[in-house]
Structure 1
């Protein structure tokens, strides 16, 4: 079992965490963090090997993310309007 705790600054960002059990198309306008703990995944044109992390600081176009094998997680951070 893997537990993942994500904390953000209150009132500034909203975090969403999901296990990659099927392909996801990530929308624009957020930060995306892809964690490939004990598996690998593919994000559009590049692969993320087991044990690696990818950080996309500004998703500017929709991107397709899918697990190849094992457990991967997608964490998105969206700015909350004040």
Structure 2
């Protein structure tokens, strides 16, 4: 059985940014390998730099953020997962006000991150980490081969650091904004004989 932890989002401490531009709640970490958090970005300013880190941002609320570094421009749009280099000194400009962003940071080149709404039943394979965030609507989870099941209610999130057996997640009902599932999958190391 996978170690499944369901918690209330309100139970997670709020940490102010060092530059005063917002606050963060850290939902899950796995040593120095990866980190999943929810950030409230309240004003324009620099993004923190994290060398050798791949970042994925998914805007939960708000109209958008534009990241700039010299000639490079990254646009973070609502409900879209965007990957970018955490080691770059990005300067952020908010689009029409504050945003709430789901942020995933992983050791560069070592993980593949996906963020998807849970609108149909989804199976997470063994070997991945899975984080489910239910802001506005509930979902169910189960490990069908052993009969484990439960639910994640609005305002809760679930952490599975390592999925041991196939994990099924599905919406409990339709109508409100669906829950989100983040999967973090290790990328196989390249071998010297690899052609890729």
Scaled to the shorter chain, the TM-score interval is 0.7 to 0.9
Determine which of 10, 24, 40 is the counterpart of 2:122. 24
What SS class does the counterpart of residue 47 from structure 1 fall into?
strand
Q: TM-score, normalised by structure 1?
A: 0.88
Determine which of 17, 26, 34 is the counterpart of 2:132. 34
Q: Residue by residue, what CA displacement relative to the aligned partner does 1:25-53 show, whole Å, maximum 9, x if unpaired?
A: 11111000011110000001011010111
> Greater CA deviation, 69-78 or 50-59?
69-78
Which residue matches 1:49? 153
Which is greater in Rg? 2
Which residue matches 1:79? 186
Q: Distance in 2 between matches of 1:58 and 1:72?
A: 20
Q: TM-score, normalised by structure 2?
A: 0.39
Q: What is the number of equivalent residue pairs in this alignment? A: 82
Alignment check: 8 A CA contact 1:15 1:75 kept: yes
Q: Distance in 2 between matches of 1:20 and 1:60?
A: 21
Structure 1, gaps ≥5 residues long: none
Q: Which has the higher contact order (CA 8 A, sep 6+)?
A: 1
Q: How well do the aligned residues superpose, as a CA RMSD in angstroms?
A: 1.6
